[in-house]
Every structure is written in structure tokens, then in C-alpha cells.
Amino acid sequence: MKIRSWAPGAQRVELDAWPTPVPGLVVNRNLPGSTHEWCVSHVASGAAIANTDDPEHALAIAIAMAGVCDWTLPATALRRDPAIRARWTETLRESGASLAGNSVPGALLRAVEAGRVS
């Protein structure tokens, strides 16, 4: 499968991705030149939610994230809930993952969700 991810400068790129048992999350290779080779990404927005150097670790992170929230929701809905952010951060810490550092501006996420940006 493919995912439309985010590159620096808020540009969209298409990357190969593999499904996980967690609806709304995939594992994909990170962008060339990234600090970590693999990431867990939110399908609806293409935003990376965790980074790691191993694909099996990325899958384990995705599975650990299952109880954090309903990952099939739009990213803007997930961002509005501070409890989700707290659970996400704690799960990252417990799983040994790195926080995905390329934060996508809310206005761009809203534009993607509205179909104004592909």
C-alpha cells in the first residue's frame, strides 16, 4: 500500500507502507536522510507518530498505540484532546520509540481533511 506522508517544507510524498493490526496506523520507511529508518504513521493524515530503526519495533509500537485512541479519526480531532497526547507520549516512552519530529501545521491537516490538499 502507499501513504501520502509529509516531507520537510510541508510537501507531500508518497511512500510504501505496510498495514498493522491497528486500524488507522501503518508502518513505513522514513524519508531518505531521516534520523530513523522506520516510522509508524497515521493513515488519515500521513503524519508520522513514532520513529525507530527497526521495522519489527515499528510494528510493536503500532500495536502498543492501539489503546491510545481511535486512530481512524482525523488528526485534527486527535490533536484537540490533551489526554490523547499524554497517553501517546507515555506509550512512546514505554516502547522506546522516538517522537516524530516533523510536526504538520494544523492548517495543513485541516486542508487535507477537507480535500483541498492531496
| pLDDT tens track, the chain, 118 positions | 999 888 777 688 899 999 999 999 999 998 888 888 999 999 988 888 898 999 999 999 999 999 999 999 988 888 888 888 888 888 888 888 876 654 555 555 566 666 665 5
d(CA 112, CA 69): 21
d(CA 93, CA 77): 23
Domain boundaries, the chain: 2-99
What pLDDT is recorded for position 92?
83
87 with 51: CB under 8 angstroms? no
What pLDDT is recorded for position 106?
57
What pLDDT is recorded for position 93?
84
